Amino acid sequence: MTIGIWVLGDQLSLNQAALHDLVAKLGVAEAQRRSRVLLIESSGVLHQRAYHLQKLVLVWSAMRHFAAELGEAGWHVDYREASGFADALQPWLVEHSITELHVMEPAERPFRMAISRLLDPSDNHQARDRPLPPRLIWHASTAFLWSRDDFATWARPYRQLRLELFYREGRRRFGVLMGPGGEPLGGQWNFDHDNRKSPPRGLSGPDPLWCEPDAVTVAVLAKVEGIQNGRRSAGLPPLPGSLERFGWAVTRQSALAVVEQFIATRLDGFGPYQDAMVSAQPTLWHALLSPYLNLGLLHPLELIRRLEQAGLERGTPLPSLEGVIRQILGWREYTNGLYWLFGPDYTERNHFGAVAPLPAWLEQLGGSGMACMDTVLGEIRATGYAHHIQRLMVLANYGLLAGLDPQALTGWFHRQFIDGYDWVMQTNVIGMGLFADGGLLASKPYAASGAYINRMSTYCKGCRFNVKARHGPDACPFNSLYWDFLARHQAQLGRNPRMGLMMKQLAKLDAAELDAIRATAADHRQLAVQA
Ligand SMILES: Cc1cc2nc3c(=O)[nH]c(=O)nc-3n(C[C@H](O)[C@H](O)[C@H](O)COP(=O)(O)OP(=O)(O)OC[C@H]3O[C@@H](n4cnc5c(N)ncnc54)[C@H](O)[C@@H]3O)c2cc1C
Ligand code: SF4
């Protein structure tokens, strides 16, 4: 009997559950002697989704490096490049007479279903031809701090779930930034009010650590360039993004170096300008660690512990240290927990009945004419990255105000972002960004006019639109769309007590001005569709 272990592309850790459980059961030597480990680099993923070029390079290069690391650790590894998962899996099962296939639970619901289908003889042609399908053994995911069951147990008593309660429970449960007597360190759980400073003139953050591509990455870059050229020759739309400069870390070792560089240069300053957006400063004090956490190169608990230890040793201001830990121990775990709690129908939510198609400039990553939007899109084109406030208050805010179809916009985010995965997209885009779930995640829509972007960014100074104007050809589109959004959904929004102030401001607008604003918004939407 040969035991098969299929390691998925976002499970790149020697401690991932399928490997770990087998070692725990048989011991290292026996586990390695009796098993073979499979990794599949499938270009078939592009039939479902046209990913950003840098995302493909990151994932495939990280997989190739991890396969080598497994081999060096003594595992028998089979690395397959294939045009589809089934094309690689089925011959491998036969070749090695695999009778048991061990897989760690995927982080994404659709992928779990796809794996089950691949091995179901009644559903899959190639599986049917096999004499004996292997027994599929799932291993509970260890990629997050909270298991799916633990999260569901935590959530059960609440009628309304809120991040703050979950986050405090996480701090207590994992003993992070706690003082004596179960009190939070510094006497406060939350320093958000200290972390919302507008950017002063000339604000610039420390440079992040970018890594030089090694020979493995260079080979993947060539493969991805080949795919791009092939698509062009076949008349297919090109994959988004640019490969001009690829600098993401592709090994655990280099991801750890990124962590240390973040601690040395940006941890202390993480807090104050967390919500700021500055032209030509795409990263500021952000950590740039989501791609590595999401691939399994880093585990969230080891990262939290390292940040806590380093921050306390360095005397990092608590608002900065608590600020970054809140993101990982709070938001990251919360959005993942909710993804599994809400179930598969969550993805179809559309509270405001938004149906507008995506403007072409989103797909083209530029050309909207709005300085804020084009800056963020240009940064995404270069690296597949934008920081949280750019995602929330420029991209998703626009989608919310303009009434873009939530499913189409979620798909767009998934294609464009270096760290995009189903589990993190759904709750962040459908829930936090678009309020398409009607308030399961956020207590009110994150809707904001140009005034917010002007206060928190440097973009408006270089924009052809006037951020103070609400209507007319020069008016900032975020302004006209904002008032139009409030007016369009007055009945629904009026029932939300947290929208009271905004709805009062809407009521104060005189009818002629509101008509002019709404006509400007309609013109913008019309142009955006044609663009
Ligand atoms: C509309 C929208 C789309 C998003 N899409 C993604 C996505 O595809 N993949 C992704 O990992 N995150 C996503 N996020 C969450 C967040 O914006 C990114 O995790 C963060 O910007 C990554 O950059 P960073 O590592 O520099 O983060 P930092 O700002 O330095 O934060 C540190 C870490 O906290 C975690 N984190 C912070 N906020 C969140 C959050 N809301 N949800 C989950 N993790 C969080 C990330 O792991 C991040 O690395 C999205 C947020 C919004 C509003
Ligand atoms: S004026 Fe409006 S469109 Fe232009 S950068 Fe500012 S917020 Fe964006």
* pLDDT tens track for 405-460: 999 999 999 999 999 999 999 999 999 999 999 999 999 999 999 999 999 999 99
- Specify the ligand 1 atom closest to the Cα of 287: 30
CATH topology for the 360-530 domain: DNA Cyclobutane Dipyrimidine Photolyase, subunit A; domain 3 (1.10.579)
- The CA–CA distances, whole Å, from 20 to 121, 139, 140, 376 equal 28, 10, 11, 41
Please give the full DSSP string across 455-524, using - where no structure is assigned: HHBSGGGG-SSBTT--SSTTB-HHHHHHHHHHHHTHHHHHT-GGGHHHHHHHHHS-HHHHHHHHHHHHHH
Contact 420, 428 (CB under 8 A): no
* pLDDT tens track for 111-163: 998 898 888 766 555 555 555 678 999 999 999 999 999 999 999 999 889 99
Cα 145 to middle of ligand 1, angstroms:
16
Q: Which of 55, 192, 419 to mutate to test the pocket of ligand 1 (most atoms within 8 A of CB)?
A: 419
The CB of 371 under 6 Å from ligand 2? The reply is: yes
Query: Between β-strands 77-82 and 98-104, what pairing exists: parallel, antiparallel or unpaired?
Result: unpaired
CA-nearest residue for atom 7, ligand 2, is 450
In angstroms, the CA 452 to CA 103 distance is 46
Q: For the chain, what is the mean pLDDT? A: 95
Alpha carbon 432 to chain centroid, angstroms? 12
Give the number of other CB atoms < 10 A from CB of residue 358.
17
pTM above 0.75, yes or no: yes
pLDDT at 240: 97
77: β partners? 37
pLDDT at 295: 98
Domain ranges of the chain: 2-139, 148-211+247-342, 360-530
In angstroms, the CA 178 to CA 175 distance is 6
Q: Which of 397, 461, 465 to mutate to test the pocket of ligand 2 (most atoms within 8 A of CB)?
A: 465
pLDDT, averaged in runs of 10, over the chain (531 residues): 94 98 97 97 94 98 98 98 94 94 96 86 55 85 97 94 96 97 94 89 96 98 97 95 97 98 98 96 97 98 98 97 97 97 95 97 96 98 98 98 98 98 96 96 96 98 96 97 98 94 96 97 88 65
Q: What residues contact 314, with CB distance under 8 A and at least 6 apart?
A: 263, 267, 268
CATH topology for the 148-211+247-342 domain: 1.25.40
Cα 491 to middle of ligand 2, angstroms:
28
CATH topology for the 2-139 domain: Rossmann fold (3.40.50)
Residue type for position 133: P
Taking alpha carbons only, the member of 466, 478, 325, 282 closest to residue 393 is: 478
pLDDT at 160: 87
Q: Which of 284, 340, 388 to mutate to test the pocket of ligand 1 (most atoms within 8 A of CB)?
A: 388
The CB of 251 under 6 Å from ligand 2? The reply is: no
- Ligand 1 pocket, residues with Cβ under 6 angstroms: 286-290, 293-294, 324, 327-328, 331-332, 335, 387-388, 391-392, 396, 413, 417, 419-420, 424-425, 428-429, 432-433
Q: Which of 277, 478, 480 to mutate to test the pocket of ligand 2 (most atoms within 8 A of CB)?
A: 478
- As given in the structure block, the two tokens for residue 399 are 């989608």
427: β partners? none
Strand order, beta sheet including 135-139? 77-82, 35-42, 2-6, 98-104, 135-139
* pLDDT tens track for 239-281: 999 999 999 999 999 999 999 999 999 999 999 999 999 999 9
pLDDT at 527: 85
pLDDT at 120: 73
- As given in the structure block, the two tokens for residue 69 are 């690391």
Helix (H) or strand (E) holding 5: strand 2-6
pLDDT at 306: 98
299 alpha carbon, closest ligand:
1
In angstroms, the CA 453 to CA 444 distance is 18
In angstroms, the CA 342 to CA 118 distance is 25
The CB of 338 under 6 Å from ligand 2? The reply is: no
Cα 324 to middle of ligand 1, angstroms:
11
